Structure 1
Amino acid sequence: MAPKFGTSGLRGLVTELTDELVADYVHAFLSTVQSDTLYVGQDLRPSSPRIAKVICDTAQAAGVDVIDCGTLGTPALALSSMAAQAPAIMVTGSHIPADRNGLKFYLPNGEILKADEAAINAAYASRTRVQSSTQGSYNQMPEAESRYIARYIDAFGQMALKGLKIGVYRHSSVARDTMEAIFKGLGAEVVPLAHSDIFIPVDTEAVDPDTRAELQAWCRENGLDAIASTDGDADRPMLTDGTGKVIPGDILGVLSAQLLGAKSVVTPVSSNDMVRRLPEFEEVILTKIGSPFVIAGMAKAAHPEVVGFEANGGFLLGFTSHLKAPLAPLPTRDCMLPIIAPLVSAQTAEKSLADLVAALPPCFTAADRVQEIDRDKAETFLDKLISDDTARAAFFAPFGSISETDLTDGLRVDFESGDVLHLRPSGNAPEFRIYAQAGTEAKAQDLVKAAYEDVAQEVL
C-alpha cells in the first residue's frame, strides 16, 4: 500500500518512502506554504537520516533555506519552527515498527489540518515543483532541544520535583536525553533504564504485558516514585506511579488540564468520560481521533483557556498558563507537559501519583490493538456493524444491551450497564484499535480482552 496520511502525518513502509516520493512530497508541501525557510528534524529510526537528507537537499534545490535541528522530539522541533514562524517537517513513524517511517508537516503556526493534507495531496498528485534559480542555505540548530528543555525548567522551577526519584525508560525514544535533562533541571534524581541502540516501537497507548512487568520490577528494584517515557518521536507520554503501574494518557490529560487551569477541554471520543464529570471544565468538546481534529476543535472553544489531549496522552496547550513563570501555548501534541504536570500536582498535594489518580472520579479505560490486520476484511467487518442492526446486536450481545451508538470515529457502543466498547481501524498502521471503559479497572481490561478475541477472528 502506498504511503498515505493517517491520523497524524504521512506514513508508509520504508521501501515505499523512496527518495523520489519524499522529494515529491517536499515540493508539494513547499508549494502550499510558500516559505523561504524550512525546519527539519528526525527520530532515531535507521531510515530517518536518509529521508531527512532528501528533505534538506530537495528544499535547498528549491531555493529554501534549511534549518536542520537533527534528532529531537517532534514538539521540540515545533517549538522552534513556530517561534520562527517557519514551516517544518519531522521524519518519524511515531510508535510503529522500524520497517515503516513517515513525515509530519508543520505550518508556521503549527500542525497541518485535514484541509492542509488535502492541499498537499493535490499538489503531490499533480507533481507540483517549486522552482528556483538560487540554492538555499543549510544551517544546523542543535540549540532547538535546549530551548525545549528550558521551556519546562523555567515554567515549573528548579525545585518542582525535588525529592523525587524518577526512572527514565530510554529505549529508542528520541527524547531520552531530553527527559533526563528536564527532570534533573527540576530537581529530581534520575535513574536511566533500558537504553537501546536498536529501534523499539513503544506504543504508549497499548503497553504490552512484558513491558508492564518490567516497569513494575524497575520500580521495586530502584525505589522509584515514577517511570517516564515516550513513543519514538516524543509526542506521546508514558508515566507510571511508584508501583510501576501505567497511568492512562487521558488521565494524564485530565490532571494536566486541572493544574494548568483550563476551562475548555477538547479530546477525541475515545478518551475517558471522566473529563465530562469534572465541574472545573466548563466546556468539553469531543472530536474524531487525531491531533488535526483536536486542533480544529480547540479553535472553536468558548473559552480562551483551552487545552486538548488524546487518549494516547499527547497534550496540546492553547493558552499561556501562569506557573512559576508563564508557559506559552504549544498547540501540538507534546509528551513532557502531561508527564511533568501530574508529578508537580502530586508534589504540591504531598501525595503519591497513585493517590492523586485514586482521588479522581471512578471511570476506567483500557485499550489494545489487533496487529497486521487484513484492511479489506476490517473495513467490511466495521461497515457491517455500523449498518446492520441485527449484526451489531449479535456481535455485542456477550457484552450487554446496547443503549447508544456513536459514529464520530469508528463505532463506539454504550451499554445499559454504563460500560463502553469503541472499535476503529488505525489511520497510521495495519492495526485495529479496541477501547473499553467501565466502572472498575478490572472490568475495563476484561472487556478489551474479550473484544480482542472476537475482533481478531474478523479482521485477520
Structure 2
Amino acid sequence: MSVFKAYDIRGVYPDEIDEHLFYRVGRASVAFLQCNEMVVGRDMRVSSPSLARAFCDGVIDQGCSVIDIGQVSTPLLYFAGRSHPACAMVTASHNPKEYNGLKICRGDSLLPVDATSGLLRIQAFVEEERFSSPRHKGLVTHKNFVQAYVKFSLSFLKAKRPASVVVDAGNGMGGITFRELMKEDVPFTLHPLYFTPDGSFPHHVPNPALPDTLTELAQHVVERRASFGVGLDGDADRCGFVDETGKVVPPSVLFALIAHELLLEQPGGCIVADLRMSRVVQDVVRRSGGRLVLAKAGRTNLKRALLEQRGIFGGELSGHFFFPETAYCENPIIMLCRVLNMLERTGKPLSALVRPLSEMYANSGEINLAIADKIGALAAVKDAFADGDVSLLDGVKVDFPSWWFSLRASNTEPLMRLVVEAQTESELAVKKAQVLKVLQPFLVREGSQASADFPHGLPPQL
C-alpha cells in the first residue's frame, strides 16, 4: 500500500485512503502498540471527521480506550499525548485539500511510529487483517486541552514590552489555539488572519515553506505596522516568519537567531539541524560557543538526534522547530514567544537581526523538482560532483569550499528537493545552473513544481 510513507500514512481521499482502511489501521495500531489507551485528534479537512470516527472504532474494537480531543493542532495533540501510552492525529499537514493521513506516536517519548519503528508492521497487520479478539471493547471519553496547552506555551514568554503580531492560520488548526491565546493577558496584540478552520482552504494552501503563501501575511504586517508575522501550515506544526518590513525570514536565519538566544541561556549546548540548513547556522552556533550536530531531514530523524545528544534546540529547513520542554515536539506559540523575547533583549527590530545573517550567503531556498528516476538523479549528481566532499546521509549533499548543494527525495510528496548555497549571488547562479543541467534529463515536464526560485515553473532552457 503506497499510502504507508516513511513517517506516516498519507494519500488522496477517497481514492487511496478511506474509512475502511482507517478502521483496520485503528485495530492494527493497538495490536502493534499493545496499548490500553490512546489520545486521538483530527484536523479541519473535510474527510477528517469520518476518518477519525472509523479509526477510533477500530481502536475500541481492539480493546483500547480512546480519549477524543476533537479538532486540534498536531502540537496540541503531542501536549495531550505525553501522559498517555499512545496518540494519533488524523491530518495531511500541509498537503492539498484532497489529501488526508494519520500520524501515530508512542505517548511516553512521543517518538513517531514510522517505517523504521513499526509502521511497516502496522501495514502488515492491515493487509493480512491479523487481529486478535479482545475480551472487551474500549471506551470513548472526550477532553479539551486547549486552555492548558496555551497556558503552558505562554510560560516561555519573558518579554513585557508591547508588540504587535499578525498570525495567518491559513484556515488550519492553528486558528483554534491562537484564538484561545487572544483571551490571555499578554503584552502583545495578536491580529488574526484566516483563523476559521476550513478544509477547503479558500484563501491559500497552508504551507509556509512556499513564499507565495506568505504574501498576504506580509501585506498585513506592513499595513498594521506589526513587529512581525507568523504563517502556519494546516496542522500548525510548521511556521514561517516575516519581519516588520514584510520580508520573509529565511528559516535557517531564524533558526540561527533562536539558537544563539538559547545558547546564551545554556552555554555549550547542543543544537541539532537538518543538513540542508544554511552554513550561517554553523557559523552562528560556533561563534556562540555551541555544538552543532547535522541530521537527516524529517522530524523522526531530528527527534532521535536531539534525544541522543540531549539537544537544547532543533530545526528543519521546512519550518519544524523542536524544544526539549515539549519532548522535542513542535510548538509555534513557544517559537513566537522566543522571537518576542529576543526582540526585547536586543532592542532591535527583527529585520535588523536578520539582515546581517541573510547577507552572509546566497541561498536558493528549496527548489521542488518533479523527477521520476530519483535513484538515477542522485547517482548522476554524485558522479558529476565527485571532486567535492560527498555525504550520503540524506540523498546526496556535496560540499565545496565556497558552495554546496543538497538533493534528496521528499518523504511526503512525489518530488525531489534541491538546495544550493554559495558565497555570492553570481556564484549561486552559476552553480545552480550546473546542478540543474545534470538533472535536466531526469525532469518530468508536466507537473514540475513551482518554487521560490521558479514561481512559474522551470525555465524552458533547463
Give the TM bin, normalised by the shorter chain: 0.7 to 0.9
Q: Which residue of 1 aligns with 2:57?
A: 57
Give the Å deviation of 1:187: 2.0
State the TM-score, normalizing by the size of structure 2.
0.84
Identity %: 23
Shift in CA distance, 131/359, structure 1 to aligned 2, threshold 3 Å: farther
Q: Which residue of 1 aligns with 2:258?
A: 256
Counting strand residues as a fraction of each chain, which structure ranks higher? 1
Contact kept in structure 2, 1:368 and 1:448, CA below 8 Å: no
Say whether 1:406 aligns with 2:391.
yes
Shift in CA distance, 74/448, structure 1 to aligned 2, threshold 3 Å: farther
220-229 vs 123-132, which deviates more? 123-132
User: Cα deviation per residue 1:171-191 (whole Å; 9 max; x = unaligned)?
Assistant: 222112323443663321122
Q: Which residue of 1 aligns with 2:314?
A: 308
Which of 231, 242, 245 aligns to 2:244? It is 242
Q: Which residue of 2 aligns with 1:76?
A: 76
Give the Å deviation of 1:234: 1.0
Contact kept in structure 1, 2:90 and 2:102, CA below 8 Å: yes
Q: Which residue of 2 aligns with 1:165?
A: 164
Tell me the amino acid that sits aligned with residue 64 of structure 2.
V
Counting only pairs closer than 5 Å after superposition, residues 26-175 of structure 1 correspond to structure 2 as 26-82=26-82, 84-108=83-107, 109-112=109-112, 114-142=116-144, 144-157=145-158, 160=159, 162-175=161-174
User: Cα deviation per residue 1:250-292 (whole Å; 9 max; x = unaligned)?
Assistant: 3333333333345011222112222322233532221211111
Shift in CA distance, 138/253, structure 1 to aligned 2, threshold 3 Å: same
CA distance in 2, matches of 1:368, 1:450: 16
Tell me the amino acid that sits aligned with residue 407 of structure 1.
L
CA distance in 2, matches of 1:179, 1:456: 44
User: Cα deviation per residue 1:136-181 (whole Å; 9 max; x = unaligned)?
Assistant: 2111112x12221111222325xx3642111111322211232344
Tell me the amino acid that sits aligned with residue 43 of structure 2.
D
Contact kept in structure 2, 1:422 and 1:436, CA below 8 Å: yes
Give the Å deviation of 1:52: 0.8
Question: Structure 2: which 5+ runs fail to align?
Answer: 445-462
Tell me the amino acid that sits aligned with residue 436 of structure 1.
V
- CA RMSD, 1 decimal: 2.8
Shift in CA distance, 331/123, structure 1 to aligned 2, threshold 3 Å: farther
Shift in CA distance, 443/110, structure 1 to aligned 2, threshold 3 Å: farther
Q: Which residue of 1 aligns with 2:366?
A: 368
Shift in CA distance, 154/47, structure 1 to aligned 2, threshold 3 Å: same
SS state at 1:275 partner: helix
Shift in CA distance, 345/101, structure 1 to aligned 2, threshold 3 Å: same
Counting only pairs closer than 5 Å after superposition, residues 368-407 of structure 1 correspond to structure 2 as 368-370=366-368, 373=370, 375=372, 377-386=373-382, 389=383, 392-393=384-385, 403-407=388-392
Shift in CA distance, 54/234, structure 1 to aligned 2, threshold 3 Å: same
346-355 vs 304-313, which deviates more? 304-313
User: Cα deviation per residue 1:103-145 (whole Å; 9 max; x = unaligned)?
Assistant: 1111022022532334434444543325323222111112x12
CA distance in 1, matches of 2:165, 2:429: 27
SS state at 2:146 partner: helix
Shift in CA distance, 165/410, structure 1 to aligned 2, threshold 3 Å: same
Contact kept in structure 2, 1:38 and 1:67, CA below 8 Å: yes
Shift in CA distance, 252/444, structure 1 to aligned 2, threshold 3 Å: farther
Give the Å deviation of 1:437: 2.1
CA distance in 2, matches of 1:87, 1:177: 23
SS state at 1:434 partner: strand
CA distance in 2, matches of 1:337, 1:409: 29
Q: Which residue of 2 aligns with 1:341?
A: 338
Number of residue-to-residue matches in the alignment: 428
CA distance in 1, matches of 2:430, 2:192: 33
Tell me the amino acid that sits aligned with residue 142 of structure 2.
Q
Shift in CA distance, 180/443, structure 1 to aligned 2, threshold 3 Å: farther
Shift in CA distance, 249/442, structure 1 to aligned 2, threshold 3 Å: farther
Shift in CA distance, 219/306, structure 1 to aligned 2, threshold 3 Å: closer
Say whether 1:350 aligns with 2:354.
no
Contact kept in structure 2, 1:205 and 1:367, CA below 8 Å: no
Contact kept in structure 2, 1:314 and 1:338, CA below 8 Å: no
Shift in CA distance, 298/341, structure 1 to aligned 2, threshold 3 Å: same
Give the Å deviation of 1:350: 0.9
Q: Which residue of 2 aligns with 1:424?
A: 408
State the TM-score, normalizing by the size of structure 1.
0.84
Shift in CA distance, 363/296, structure 1 to aligned 2, threshold 3 Å: same
